[in-house]
Amino acid sequence: MKQRNIYRGIVFLLMLGVLMIGSTTQVHADMGPKPTAHVTITGHDEPYMFDVLVKKSTPVDTLDDESLERNTVEYYDPEAYPEVLNGYQDGDGYASMTLYDNVPRYITREHNTFELGYFGAPREFKIVLVFDEDTIITSPSIERQQFNALITYDVSDVDKSESQENVGVIEEEIPYAEMATDFFIRLVATIAIELGVLALFFYRKLKSFILAGGVNLATQSLLTLFMVMGYYYWGNLLAAFLILILGETLVIIAEMIIYGLYLKEHSWLRAILYALTANGLSMAAGFTLLLI
């Protein structure tokens, strides 16, 4: 009965810690990293103007000079921005994000690669290219998947002599091999640390290592998967850090209970201390791997 009460106390304290962490990680909408997109244009090396189109629920108006002067968008240059996009809306209802989505953003250019940053990488958008004599080419719409997306818009087979909508090939590069490598390295390193700590706590029986290995394979696989997803899809380093902290807290709860009940080679207190130590070291390793 006394041991059961101890377990209940551990669970209560750790759950209280989770709630405290969760309450302190709420952030303002304008805090934290912003999604980005690197868009590379292929198949055309002559001069052109680039912008992003976003879906508008109502028709857009042609903006007068006074409205344009109030435009606070960093990328807008009244002398360089193509006048033909002022009032332009394609057949799907997409219009210039620069002119009609009044939030701060940046578009930087290096050769044929454009970086969309600070609210400049919407979830769903089109690319518009404006060539000489106000010829307009728009891409099919694309829904950005990753937090920091790598997108290619190929216009090799597009006739640039006349305006066209929804032409060319636009696609996002998903680094599956890199994601799988990250997952494997993190998982193997974590399990190696946990089993190494088990040996340092003078556990020697095969069944102890089988139990710890199986438990860690289950818990750390799930945690590592969420960390990789968080890094690539939800919020880059910030998301991965928060998932690591909250995930390891939940893993500690689970492993302290499991090891306290089933890791019988030594006392239940040693089993609990092992769970705390091993997960503390694996959390430190997780932070290190995120930063390198």
The total number of residues written for the chain in this structure: 292
Q: Which of 140, 172, 204 is the last residue of a domain?
A: 172
Residue 2's pLDDT is 46
Q: Which of 139, 172, 205 is the last residue of a domain?
A: 172
| Sheet strands (E) in the chain | 36-42, 49-55, 94-96, 106-110, 113-117, 124-131, 135-138, 142-143, 148-154, 169-172
Dmax (CA) for the chain in angstroms is: 85
Structural domains counted in the chain: 2
Tell me: do 158 and 275 sit in the same domain: no
d(CA 151, CA 169): 10
State the DSSP H helix or E strand holding residue 286, giving kind and residue range, or none if neither. Answer: helix 268-291
Provide the β-strand partners of residue 269. Answer: none
Domain with 15, as residue range(s), is 2-30+176-291
Structure tokens at 225: 């998967």
Tell me: do 60 and 188 sit in the same domain: no
Tell me: do 49 and 166 sit in the same domain: yes
Tell me: do 106 and 214 sit in the same domain: no
d(CA 197, CA 100): 58
Tell me: do 221 and 146 sit in the same domain: no
Using alpha carbons only, what angle is made at residue 141 by residues 139 and 142, rounded to the nearest 5 degrees?
110
| Share in percent of the chain as helix, strand, coil (round to 5) | 50, 20, 30
pTM: 0.79
Q: For 132, which DSSP code?
A: G
Tell me: do 258 and 277 sit in the same domain: yes
Tell me: do 194 and 166 sit in the same domain: no
Q: Which of 172, 188, 207 is the last residue of a domain?
A: 172
Tell me: do 149 and 222 sit in the same domain: no
Tell me: do 153 and 42 sit in the same domain: yes
- If you search the block for the tokens 């089109």, which residue do you land on? 126
Using alpha carbons only, what angle is made at residue 170 by residues 52 and 43, rounded to the nearest 5 degrees?
95
Tell me: do 75 and 104 sit in the same domain: yes
d(CA 107, CA 109): 7
State the DSSP H helix or E strand holding residue 22, giving kind and residue range, or none if neither. Answer: helix 2-24
Tell me: do 181 and 286 sit in the same domain: yes
pLDDT tens sequence for the chain (292 residues): 444 554 454 444 444 444 444 444 444 445 567 889 999 999 998 889 999 999 999 999 998 877 776 665 666 777 778 889 999 999 999 999 888 887 667 788 888 999 998 777 899 999 999 998 789 999 999 999 999 999 999 999 999 999 999 999 999 999 999 999 999 999 999 999 999 999 999 999 999 999 999 999 999 999 999 999 999 998 888 899 999 999 999 999 999 999 999 999 999 999 999 999 999 999 999 988 888 7
Do residues 93 and 56 lie in contact, with contact meaning Cβ atoms separated by under 8 Å? yes
Tell me: do 268 and 148 sit in the same domain: no
